[in-house]
């Protein structure tokens, strides 16, 4: 399918709705399907509702690895166990089992879970080539993990040693947690000379922010993605912390409502229509009221940044 030509496009900004003038600039209305913190949290809620308290009657691995190999004994360690609950740390999903083990799961870029309710069983879709893990629950429901690009992972860890697991030990602050403050961010950035955009993607500083929300938060905080990190501490760090929280919370709210919609239809979790102020909008007018700038695209660290050079400094 080709990208639609822009006729009129609505974008939400600070609660006010801005409508782009008709133009000839091709704008993709890209469906966001890269899991960042809000998407992972939405998936966590869906899985928790479907799995908590139930036994995993059968767990099937349909290949030997994703980004990493499944650990030896994965299926036997998990099969027959009861799911005590689902937690999230950064973009990792943590499924606690009743034998003291926790399943660590990451969606990578294209990982997705689908919940097939028991009553729909005769009409369940057959498994495709990218359906790598199948959890059959004791109530007859089925949870399928699919991941075309296989950047995701699934592994096991004793719950008592979870905090020192190599994947989790070096993670920075949760952006929606109490420890993520202007002072914390200022201290983390003070001696860094990389661009602030790259620092926001560094999971040792703050977790859960991917390329899209990094761009959106910098736009809302009116900070250029090119600004050197060590010039952010102080007032800008305060704006940035507020902007990160606002952007993630708005996406979480959208995810929650889409979860209810999807649960009624095909049970697919965490993927929803979402529009962005700057992400993937190169050439579009800046949506900030009163700003006449044009959104630009910039390559930083092998990744695309989108920003308004007129109002982000």
Partner DNA sequence: CGTACACCCTGGCCGC
Partner DNA sequence: TGCGGCCAGGGTGTAC
| Nearest C-alpha neighbor of 82 from the set 54, 50, 106 | 54
Catalytic-residue membership of 62? no
Cα separation, 262 vs 245, in Å, equals 25
220-247 burial, b if ≥16 CB within 10 A, otherwise e?
Answer: bbbbbbbbebeebbeebbbbbbebbeeb
Binding span for DNA by CB under 7 A among 117-125, 156-164, 190-198, 235-243 = 190-198
Rule CB under 7 A: say whether 275 interacts with DNA: no
Task: Please name the residue that has the structure tokens 């982000």.
Answer: 312
Closer to DNA at the Cβ: 170 or 260?
Answer: 170
Rule CB under 7 A: say whether 127 interacts with DNA: no
Binding span for DNA by CB under 7 A among 1-9, 51-59, 255-263, 286-294 = 1-9
Rule CB under 7 A: say whether 167 interacts with DNA: yes
Q: Judged by CB under 7 A, which of 18, 194, 275, 294 binds DNA?
A: 194
Is the Cβ–Cβ distance between 85 and 48 less than 8 Å?
Answer: yes
Rule CB under 7 A: say whether 303 interacts with DNA: yes
To 10 degrees, the CA torsion angle through 170, 209, 186, 190? 70
Q: Judged by CB under 7 A, which of 2, 24, 260, 264 binds DNA?
A: 2
Cα separation, 129 vs 245, in Å, equals 38
Q: C-beta of 238: minimal distance to DNA in Å? A: 21
Is the Cβ–Cβ distance between 25 and 108 less than 8 Å?
Answer: no
Binding span for DNA by CB under 7 A among 93-101, 185-193, 237-245, 253-261 = 185-193
197-to-207, 236, 245, 297, 302 alpha-carbon distances in Å: 13, 13, 16, 13, 12
Rule CB under 7 A: say whether 151 interacts with DNA: yes
Closer to DNA at the Cβ: 79 or 198?
Answer: 198
Q: Judged by CB under 7 A, which of 8, 16, 178, 191 binds DNA?
A: 191
Query: Of these residues, 192, 245, 303, 309, which one is catalytic?
Result: 303
Structure tokens at 72: 């030896």
Local structure of 109: helix, strand or coil: coil
Rule CB under 7 A: say whether 313 interacts with DNA: no
To 10 degrees, the CA torsion angle through 32, 35, 37, 41? 100
Rule CB under 7 A: say whether 234 interacts with DNA: no
Closer to DNA at the Cβ: 34 or 176?
Answer: 34
Rule CB under 7 A: say whether 159 interacts with DNA: no
Is the Cβ–Cβ distance between 173 and 179 less than 8 Å?
Answer: yes
Q: Judged by CB under 7 A, which of 23, 85, 117, 148 binds DNA?
A: 148
User: Which distant-in-sequence residues (6+ apart) come within 8 Å of 221 by Cβ?
Assistant: 236, 239, 240, 242, 243, 244
| Site mask for DNA (CB under 7 A), range 87-116, x = bound | ---xx--------------x-xxx------
Catalytic-residue membership of 138? no
Query: Of these residues, 32, 89, 91, 236, which one is catalytic?
Result: 91
Alpha-carbon 256 to chain mean position: 13
To 10 degrees, the CA torsion angle through 19, 22, 25, 30? 40
Catalytic-residue membership of 91? yes
Q: Judged by CB under 7 A, which of 193, 235, 266, 313 binds DNA?
A: 193
| Residues across the chain | 313
Catalytic-residue membership of 303? yes
Provide the annotated active-site residues.
Answer: 35-36, 91, 303
Q: By the criterion CB under 7 A, which residues form the site for DNA? A: 1-3, 26, 34, 36, 67, 90-91, 106, 108-110, 129-130, 148-151, 167, 191-194, 198, 201, 203, 210-212, 229, 301-304
């Amino acid at each position: 399918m080709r990208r639609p030509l822009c006729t009129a496009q609505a974008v939400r900004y600070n609660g006010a709705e801005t409508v782009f003038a008709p133009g000839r600039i091709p704008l993709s209305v890209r469906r966001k399907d890269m899991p960042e913190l809000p998407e992972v949290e939405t998936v966590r809620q869906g899985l928790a509702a479907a799995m908590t308290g139930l036994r995993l009657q059968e767990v099937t691995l349909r290949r030997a690895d994703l980004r990493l190999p499944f650990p030896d004994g994965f299926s036997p360690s998990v099969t027959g166990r009861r799911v005590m609950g689902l937690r999230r740390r950064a973009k990792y999903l943590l499924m606690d089992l009743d034998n003291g083990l926790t399943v660590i799961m990451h969606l990578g870029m294209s990982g997705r879970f689908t919940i097939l309710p028991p009553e729909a069983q005769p009409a369940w879709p057959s498994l495709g080539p990218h359906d790598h893990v199948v959890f059959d629950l004791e109530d007859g429901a089925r949870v399928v993990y699919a991941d075309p690009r296989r950047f995701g992972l699934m592994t096991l860890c004793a719950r008592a040693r979870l905090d020192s697991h190599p994947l989790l030990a070096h993670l920075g602050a949760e952006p929606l947690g109490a420890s993520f403050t202007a002072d914390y961010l200022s201290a983390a950035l003070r001696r860094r000379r990389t661009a602030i955009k790259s620092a926001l993607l560094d999971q040792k500083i703050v977790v859960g922010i991917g390329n899209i929300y990094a761009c959106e938060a910098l736009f809302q905080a009116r900070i250029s993605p090119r600004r050197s990190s060590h010039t952010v501490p102080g007032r800008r760090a305060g704006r940035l912390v507020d902007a990160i929280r606002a952007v993630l919370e708005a996406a979480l709210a959208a995810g929650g409502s889409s979860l209810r919609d999807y649960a009624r239809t095909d049970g697919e979790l965490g993927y929803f229509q979402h529009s962005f102020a700057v992400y993937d909008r190169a050439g579009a007018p800046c949506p900030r009221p009163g700003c006449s700038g044009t959104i630009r695209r910039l390559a930083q660290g092998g990744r695309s940044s989108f920003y308004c050079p007129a109002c982000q400094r």
